[in-house]
C-alpha cells in the first residue's frame, strides 16, 4: 500500500510538471503571437500611411509615397495627361468644347489660353464642327525633368480625327514648364503648366472607317 501511495504521488507530481510545462509553452506561444500581431499591425500601419489617394472624376486613384522625385514624376505625368485629354478630346459641339477647354485651362496659365485663341482664329474648331468630326488624343509618352525647378516636360501624342467615312491620324509634340501651386479639387496634383507650346500636327495616315 505504501508503495502504491508513493507511486500515486509521483504520478501526480509528474502530471503537475507536465501541466506546468504545457502552460508555460502555451504562454510562450501566446506571447510570440502577440508580438507578431503588434509587429504586423505596425508594419501595415506604416505601409498604409505611405499611400496617397487622389480623387479624379469620382474614382480613387492610389499613388505610393515613394521618393519625392519619383512621386513628383507621377504627379507631373498625371497632370499633363489630364490637361491634354481635356484640351484635345473634341466633340463637334461648341458647348462641350468650351466646357472641356475651360477645365483644361484651370491646369495651365495664359500660354495655353493663347494657344486656344490661336486655334479659334484659325477656325480649327469651326471646321471640325462643320464636318461633324470628333477628335481624340492618345498620349504616347511624357518625358519629365523634376530634378530642376520649374519642372520641364515634353509630351508625344497621336491625334485621331474621326469623320463619317474616314479616320486621319496625326502625330504632334508639346512642351511646357510646371510650377507648384496649392492643391484643390480642380487641381489635385497642385501643379500649373507654363510656357505651353505645341508643334503643328503632322498627318501620318488616313484610312476608311
Q: Which residue is associated with the grid cell 486613384?
A: 61
Query: How far is residue 28's CA from residue 6's CA, in Å, rounded to a whole number?
Result: 33
In the prediction, which pLDDT does 61 show?
A: 45
Phi, psi dihedral angles at 203 (to 5 degrees): -70, 130
Q: How far lies 202's CA from each of 111, 198, 205, 208, in Å?
A: 22, 12, 9, 18
Copy the grid coordinates of residue 21: 510545462
The yes-or-no verdict on residue 49 having pLDDT over 80 is no
Question: What does the alpha-carbon distance between residue 162 and residue 209 come to, in Å, rounded to a whole number?
Answer: 8
Higher pLDDT, 100 or 66: 100
Residue 201 region, left (φ>0) first, then alpha (ψ -120 to 50), else beta? beta
Q: In sequence order, what are the residues at sequence separation of 6 or more whose Cβ sits closer than 8 angstroms to the Cβ of residue 126?
A: none
Residue 167 has a pLDDT of 97
| Euclidean distance between CA atoms 186 and 113, whole angstroms | 17
27-42 residue pLDDT tens: 565 555 555 554 555 4
Residue 94 — very low, low, confident or very high, per pLDDT cuts 50/70/90?
very high
Query: Is the pLDDT score of 121 beyond 80?
Result: yes
Condensed to tens digits (0 to 9), the pLDDT of residues 138-149 reads 999 999 999 999
Question: Percent of the chain, pLDDT > 70?
Answer: 67
pLDDT beyond 80 at 64? no
Q: Which residue has the higher pLDDT, 52 or 72?
A: 72
Angle between helices 68-88 and 94-105 (to 10 degrees): 160
Q: Which three cell numbers, joined as nine digits, stand for 25?
A: 509553452
Which residues touch 89 (CB under 8 Å, ≥6 apart)?
100, 135, 136, 137
pLDDT for the residue 51:
46
Check whether the bond before 150 is cis (ω within 30° of 0).
yes
| 105 pLDDT above the threshold of 70 | yes
Least confident of 33-37, 108-112, 148-152: 33-37
* Out of 20-29, 49-58, 200-209, least confident range: 49-58
Grade residue 45 by pLDDT with cuts at 50, 70 and 90. Answer: very low
Predicted pLDDT at 110: 97
| Rg, C-alpha atoms of the chain | 32
Q: Which three cell numbers stand for residue 205?
A: 495616315
Amino acid at each position: 500500500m505504501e508503495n502504491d501511495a508513493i507511486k500515486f504521488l509521483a504520478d501526480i507530481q509528474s502530471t503537475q510538471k507536465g501541466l506546468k510545462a504545457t502552460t508555460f509553452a502555451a504562454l510562450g506561444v501566446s506571447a510570440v503571437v502577440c508580438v507578431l500581431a503588434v509587429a504586423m499591425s505596425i508594419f501595415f500601419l506604416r505601409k498604409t500611411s505611405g499611400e496617397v489617394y487622389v480623387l479624379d472624376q469620382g474614382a480613387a486613384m492610389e499613388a505610393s509615397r515613394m521618393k519625392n522625385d519619383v512621386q513628383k514624376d507621377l504627379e507631373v505625368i498625371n497632370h499633363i495627361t489630364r490637361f491634354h485629354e481635356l484640351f484635345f478630346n473634341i466633340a463637334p459641339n461648341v458647348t462641350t468644347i468650351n466646357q472641356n477647354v475651360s477645365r483644361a485651362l484651370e491646369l495651365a496659365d495664359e500660354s495655353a489660353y493663347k494657344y486656344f485663341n490661336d486655334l479659334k482664329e484659325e477656325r480649327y474648331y469651326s471646321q471640325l464642327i462643320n464636318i461633324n468630326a470628333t477628335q481624340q488624343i492618345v498620349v504616347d509618352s511624357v518625358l519629365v525633368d523634376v530634378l530642376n525647378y520649374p519642372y520641364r516636360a515634353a509630351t508625344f501624342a497621336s491625334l485621331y480625327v474621326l469623320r463619317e467615312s474616314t479616320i486621319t491620324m496625326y502625330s504632334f509634340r508639346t512642351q511646357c514648364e510646371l510650377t507648384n501651386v496649392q492643391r484643390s479639387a480642380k487641381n489635385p496634383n497642385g501643379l500649373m503648366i507654363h510656357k505651353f507650346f505645341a508643334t503643328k500636327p503632322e498627318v501620318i495616315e488616313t484610312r476608311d472607317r
